[in-house]
Amino acid sequence: MKKHHPFRNLYLGLTLLFLYAPIAVLIVFSFNADANRSVFTGFSLKWYEKLFESDALIQSLVNSLIVAVLSSIIATIIGTYGALIIGKMRAKYRNMTINIINIPMINAEIVTGLSLMMLFVFLSIPLGFGTLLIAHVMFNVPYVIMSVLPKVKQLNNSTYEAALDLGATPGYAFRKVVLPDLMPGVISGLLMSFTMSLDDFIISYFTTGPGFPTLSVTINSMTKKKVPLSVNALSALMFVIVFVVLLIANLPKKGEKKNG
């Protein structure tokens, strides 16, 4: 039996319309022939050409990607190590440590960003690439720890010991026995860090300097003046990439549930 739910579908449809209308308009006007943001005067790809000529946008995109890649890798290493340490702690210390580590995840981003900025100013470290990287690693570490920790708790210590008994060095046993069990958590922590880092504005805004703007920092400063439609073009490209990736990741797969 097939029931129709006109109200339900209408409600969900309208909510989706609300969420997508601004993005759709943004994308449509990226193809506009002149700089007008309300009247579509004709189809053109000139804003896409302008985008690739715009050093500010491309350079900040590259900056964002560099920080996202580096910070997610460093955060994954620190976070995996942290999860291994925390997983072996006694419950009392473990909860206390987790609570402290979780602070940047729960705290308001503006407070986290400012607190780091004050630390850097106090230590007279000039704001730029280094401080931005530290800030991103700092807010990514808790996410990695929290996604690896459940895997650490599931670890079976006797397989590691068996490997040692069979003559494996601790490093070899770790790589061949422990790490594979942690991998799903490590990968999801890495992906999560990467996207969190790429998406961040507020913390970056307070912890980077004029010499190393990220994409969101650059776009934010562009919105103070008349925004070139090449921003729309870049947003459209990014949206399409994410859309395709997510669609591919979510469409077929039957039976198997998400695993990071």
Partner 1 sequence: MKNKLNKALRAVPLYVWVILFTVIPLFMIVFYAFFKVQDGGGYEFTMEFIQKSVTNGDYIHSFLISVKYAAVSTVVCLIVGYPVAYFLNQISERIRDFIMVLFLLPMWMNFIIRTYAMRSLMEKNGLLGFLWDFLGIKGGTLIGTEAAIIIGMVYNFLPFMILPIYTSLTKMDRGLIEAAQDLGANKIKVFTKVLLPLTMPGIVSGITMVFMPSVTTFVIPQMLNNKVMTIGSIIEYKFKQEASSTAVSGVGAALSMVLMIIVIISMTFVNRFSDAEEIREEKEKRRVN
Segment near partner 1 (CB under 8 A); pick from 45-53, 156-164, 167-175, 205-213 = 205-213
Q: CB-wise, 166 or 251, nearer to partner 1?
A: 251
- Are 89 and 97 spatial neighbours (Cβ–Cβ below 8 Å)? yes
Q: Which stretch binds partner 1 (CB under 8 A): 65-73, 157-165, 166-174, 238-246?
A: 238-246
Q: What is the CA radius of gyration of the chain?
A: 23
Binding of partner 1 at residue 223 (CB under 8 A)?
yes
Binding track over 98-127 against partner 1, x by CB under 8 A: -xxxxxxxxxxxxxx-xxxxxx-xx-x-xx
What minimum distance in Å lies between the beta carbon of 173 and partner 1? 16
- The residues in 36-65 that bind partner 1, with binding defined as CB under 8 A, are 36-39
By beta-carbon proximity to partner 1, the closer residue of 159 and 235 is 235
* Exposed/middle/buried for residue 106 (C-beta within 10 Å: 0-12, 13-18, 19+): exposed
CA dihedral 209, 56, 58, 197 (to 10 degrees): 30
Locate 152 and state its tokens: 């650490």
Contacts of 206 (CB under 8 A, 6+ apart): 110, 113, 114, 116, 117
251 binds partner 1 (CB under 8 A): yes
CB 48 within 8 A of CB 233: yes
- Selected from 31, 205, 212, 233, the binder of partner 1 by CB under 8 A is 205
CB of 121 to partner 1, least distance (A): 5
